[in-house]
Amino acid sequence: MTACYTLSLANDKIWELPALINFLVDNQGKEIKLTVNPEAHCLQASGVYDILEKFQFSKVTISTFNALETHPLYNIEYRALNGFLGQWDKYDLTSSGIWNKTKIFGAFYGRPTANRIGIASHLFFNYKDLSEIRLATSIDSLDNRALYELDKLFEYDPQSVFKFSKMINEFSFQGIEYTPMGHLFNYASSLHKVYENILVDVISEPNIKGNTFFPTEKVVRPILLKKPFIAMTSKNYLDYLHQMGFYTFNEFWDEDYDGFESNNRYLKILKLLDQLASKTLEELNQMYCSMKYQLDHNYDLLVNSGYNINITKIV
């Protein structure tokens, strides 16, 4: 009989680590199955393999959404890459998404990771009047404050911590108590009207480190509402979207950040935001009109399920 355990991970962290250790201790020598749910973090980067290698099992099977996950000894079962893409009809599409030129940037984030609070702080500090920012979390409780990756943000860029400290006094947090183990396939349809205000969605996927690729609702929203996006995600994320058949926006701005991960990607994205913010409203609107072909293509590819789900790992 196979013993089963569901892993919930962050980029470099295992939630409820003691429970995992107890499971592995209790099932040494047996056949086990680990299910990574609901996201697709790199198991090497999150430390899972380092722990598994300290035990011996008759067989290890890992079920994951991560199409890039490999291991020389363990059996990897791949679940559908299009988990979020295939459920696009759950979104509220009563908004046209057509830009009303009110703002430039959108930043809509849940768990307060280093890059998310850093990007939000950069936009709030420098371009508050040009940005729609949502942080669906709270700073009111000790448990929630512990989730804010300020130590990691300081490693990324000390100035970003300074910006966040200034933001705290003015920003309206959404006040939601975030539960790391409680995330679901949440499509945040309440954001649909906000997309009329923004030109560019600065998305941040939960998977930003290691060999991983799994597009979630964060990229589905701008595709459905026909908005371009900048992606704080894992390395080569845009190239994997290209393999699926989607277009990104290298004709309109520099996407060299896609060759980097973690702090290097973060810093390059901040520079890109500055470059876009320096453009006039007329220049931005002309750019928006010029990318209609790409935006329409991505929308049609998604709603007609015309994308390729068999991607090849970039080495």
Give the CATH number for residue 283. Answer: 3.40.50
The verdict on residue 163 lying in a domain is: yes
The reply to whether 97 falls in a domain is: yes
pLDDT in tens, the chain (315 residues): 999 999 989 888 898 999 999 999 999 999 999 999 878 899 999 999 999 999 999 999 999 999 999 999 999 999 988 888 988 887 777 778 899 999 999 999 988 999 999 999 999 999 999 999 999 888 988 988 998 999 999 999 999 999 999 999 899 887 665 555 444 445 555 678 899 999 999 999 988 999 999 999 899 999 999 999 999 999 999 999 999 999 999 999 999 999 999 999 999 999 999 999 999 999 999 999 999 999 999 999 999 999 999 999 998
Same domain for 242 and 163, yes or no, is: yes
Q: Residue 280 to residues 104, 122, 198, 277, 294: CA-CA distances in angstroms? A: 11, 19, 15, 8, 22
pLDDT of residue 273: 98
Residues 72 and 97 in one domain: no
Same domain, 93 and 72: no
Same domain, 62 and 96: no
Write phi, then psi, for 106 (nearest 5 degrees): -120, 135
- Residues 94, 13 share a domain: no
Domain contains 314: no
d(CA 134, CA 109): 6
Q: How many domains does the chain have?
A: 2
Question: What would the two tokens of residue 78 be?
Answer: 């791949």
Whether residues 49 and 164 share a domain: the answer is no
Strands 59-64, 31-36: pairing kind: parallel
Would you say 25 and 52 are in contact if contact means Cβ atoms under 8 Å apart? no
Residue 11: predicted pLDDT: 85
Please name the residue that has the structure tokens 């609901």.
Answer: 38
Same domain, 163 and 48: no
**Is residue 141 situated within a structural domain?**
yes
Task: Report CA Rg, the chain.
Answer: 20
Given 24, 51, 78, the domain boundary residue is 78
Instruction: Assess whether 146 and 275 both reside in one domain.
Output: yes
Question: What residue numbers bound the domain in which 40 lies?
Answer: 3-78
Distance (Å, rounded) from C-alpha 72 to C-alpha 229?
A: 36
User: Does residue 309 sit within a domain?
Assistant: no
Q: What is the residue type of 134?
A: R
Q: In this structure, is residue 261 part of a structural domain?
A: yes
Q: 212 and 261: one domain?
A: yes
Q: 89 and 63, same structural domain?
A: no
Question: Do 178 and 141 contact (CB within 8 A), yes or no?
Answer: no
**Tally of residues, the chain:** 315
pTM over 0.95: no
* 173 and 31 in a common domain: no
Q: How far apart are CA 67 and CA 40, in angstroms?
A: 8
| pLDDT score of 188 | 54
Task: Name the pairing type of β-strands 13-14 and 59-64.
Answer: unpaired
Residue 271: inside a domain, yes or no? Answer: yes
What does the pLDDT read at residue 182? 44
Point out the domain boundary residue: 44, 78, 112: 78
Starting from the edge strand earliest in sequence, which strands make up the sheet with 105-109, in order? 131-135, 105-109, 200-204, 229-232
Q: Note whether 65 and 111 are same-domain residues.
A: no
Structural domain contains residue 287: yes
Q: Indicate the residue among 39, 58, 78 that finishes a domain.
A: 78
